[in-house]
Amino acid sequence: MRVLGVDPGLTRCGIGVIEGEPGRQLRLVATDVIRTPAGDDIGARLLALEVAFDDWLARHRPDAVAVERVFSQHNVRTVMGTAQAGAVAIVCAARHGVPVALHTPSEVKAAVTGSGRADKQQVTEMVTRLLRLPDRPRPADCADALALAICHLWRGAAQQRLAAAARLVTAQRQVTAQRQVTAQRQVTAQLLSTPQRATGGST
């Protein structure tokens, strides 16, 4: 499975692609930071992100895209820019027919380090170990994007197994219900086809 992770941002947007399966060694495919000048018009900056996202999706053909879920912070202006960048990534993925998942920072930290309260350094260290990289991904935006991809690869696979199990249970219940209906119909048909004997004495 190949996952593209996006750590959204207007000035710096981390992006990274990994591939692998749960329980197996993960492999880094590519990672980088997409930058847009802070002095440029917002429309031009979002368009630049769109072009970059489209390029990454076309070149690496991921099976899924993982984007950080944005929460309100003290700096509303930063939150708006982050949300806008994330929305562009989601739209681009939809255009390419790639499913998108949103993960909170605590979900990512818990998936990668085992603690939802881990700091950035701990996340970076675990990403480096899990991908067996010779050096830490730099800047930190790259590590965050890769952590998102790792989180989704592990959580997504687990969710898929749960969904598959749920579908199997539903299918089994449907088969059982259909058999019960068929059996009831057979019993009813037999009762209707059996001739009824007249009862009563002679007068």
What pLDDT, on the 0 to 100 scale, is given for residue 119? Answer: 94
**CA–CA dist 22, 130 (Å, integer):** 12
Amino acid 182: pLDDT:
86
The pLDDT tens digits of the residues spanning 154-174 come to: 986 554 544 445 556 667 778
pLDDT of residue 74: 64
Q: Smallest Cα–Cα separation from 19: which of 6, 1, 4?
A: 1
Residue 5 has a pLDDT of: 98
At residue 42, the pLDDT reads 96
Low-confidence ranges of the chain (pLDDT < 50): 159, 161-164, 203
pTM exceeding the 0.85 threshold for the entire prediction: no
pLDDT of residue 188: 83
Catalytic residues: 7, 68, 141
CA angle 37, 69, 76 (to 5 degrees): 55
First to last CA, the chain: 86
* pLDDT, position 163: 44
pLDDT for 180: 84
In this prediction, residue 181 carries a pLDDT of 80
